[in-house]
Amino acid sequence: MNDPGDAAADELVQYERDGRIAVLRINRPDKLNAFSDEMVRALAEQLRRFDTDPEANVAVLCGNGRAFSAGADVQQRQLRPREELERFGGPQAPGAKVGDLFVHSVNWKPVISAVHGYVLGLAMGLMLDADLVVAERGTRMQITEVSRGLGGARYWALLQFRGAAAFGTELALTGRYFTAEEAFEHGLVNRLVEPGTALEVALALAREVDANPPLSVRASVRARRWYLRRLTEEADMMQQPMRLYLTEDFHEAALARAERREPRPFQGR
């Protein structure tokens, strides 16, 4: 059944409920669900809605169209005027920081990410922040921040938290594409499924979780997210003084992406 909600949030992130399972669908398929500031805020609103919905115990997060998400909207978030980057302390506007989405909770209900197509940059962080992950075969993933000049410290921390070890360090340093099959091999996802079945399998997994007493489930979720937040905040603290978002290399990489060309040689400044 559908619940009434904020119209703007519902347009960008759809919310529906099937019994005690909420489904949140990222809904910008014409842009491969790339995240603008408005989309991040809409997702935050729908996660709060789930958190306080007395009829919902587990959520599944997925994307409409050909991809879970292609990551950040480069034009809006990475090509901001320098004055905004300095004022915001980075590409993410106030109230639109993806790393905060799962840490401001009241009831600590579990979220399962169901991914397909592409999971790039920001979206990879979103996938790994979720408590469980279902991924379709052939899904392509990448820490795009590495090649954009923003650095992959937070993603390295997320990968280490999930036990990726040497594989996670490789991804954080090379920024290469990798597949859902590789992710499953290295323990980054819980279920590797056939194309077109991620949502179905995620819903079945959600029902397994929901069969347990909800407060005992939430105790584990709260502990997991506390440790995850501590690790990622330490990584952010280490990287923040470098202010990579103000470097020439970052601007050139973002501009090259927006102009669909290869970046000019990086200068290390």
List, by residue number, the catalytic residues: 145
Cα 211 to chain centroid, rounded: 26
HEC string of the chain?
CCCCCCHHHHHHEEEEEECCEEEEEECCHHHCCCECHHHHHHHHHHHHHHHHCCCCCEEEEEECCCCCECCECHHHHHCCCHHHHHHHCCCCCCCCCHHHCCCCCCCCCCEEEEECCEEECHHHHHHHHCCEEEEECCCEEECHHHHHCCCCHHHHHHHHHCCCHHHHHHHHHHCCCEEHHHHHHCCCCCEEECCCCHHHHHHHHHHHHHCCCHHHHHHHHHHHHHHHHHHHHHHHHHHHHHCHHHCHHHHHHHHHHHCCCCCCCCCCC
As a whole number of angstroms, the distance between CA 216 and CA 223 comes to 11
Q: Which residues contact 210 (CB under 8 A, 6 or more apart)?
A: 19, 20, 21, 57, 58
> The dihedral of CA 205, 207, 211, 216: what is its sign?
positive
Give yes or no for a contact between 151 and 205, defined as CB atoms under 8 angstroms apart. Answer: no
